[in-house]
Amino acid sequence: MTTKGLLVRLEAKHGKDDAVEAFLSSALPLVRQEAGTTAWFAVRFGRSEYGIVDFFPDEAAREAHLNGAVASALRQQAADLFETSPDIQKIEVLASKLPSQPPAEPNTKGLLLTFKAKEGHEQEVVQFLKDAQPLAMAEEETIAWFAIRLPNGEYGIFDVFPDNGARLKHLAGRIPQELTKHALSLLGSFPDMDLLKVTAENFNP
């Protein structure tokens, strides 16, 4: 069971986009050696904005990753590649969907949706996200899906897809429909949506 995660935001220095993508891809062999890293994604938010989203079965595995080779390489390269220090957020996984084995073709698209719960309705939002898991399980082209709680009190969904068509199908599906239906009663902010490019990934089911 996946219970912990990390959301790392990285801002590439001017002209360093290709170097950042190459660095993130070069981390894959290191990630593959981490038995406790259940899933790892390198993503691009937009021009010069990158990130790493990864997931773990427990706190011990997350701490092992934070003290491991990937984090060490990130610290060593930070001054050369990034405008500011990496923004590392520890996230809690409320519900998840993972493939039973690594997909034959890599995922190329991702989605990060974040929002605040209306004051006093936090537990209802948690329950809504947990109840969305069966809907995600039914979406064959939603390869991995995670309902998350961020340290700033926000909630969200991170998921990945083989292509843009699969992502569009998800956005037109049941989970966004249900979220829209309950938005006025549950949400304290309009959802912030990032359409991501997945540049590298690793699954260790």
Tens-place pLDDT, residues 138-179: 999 999 999 999 999 999 999 999 999 999 999 999 999 999
- 60: tokens are 């011990």
- Total domains in the chain come to 1
Half-sphere exposure of 191 (CA within 13 A, CB side): 19
Residue matched to tokens 């996200």: 129
Q: Tell me: pLDDT of 196 over 80.
A: yes
Structural domain including 37 reads 4-203
Average pLDDT over residues 54-63: 98
CATH label of the domain that carries residue 194: 3.30.70.100
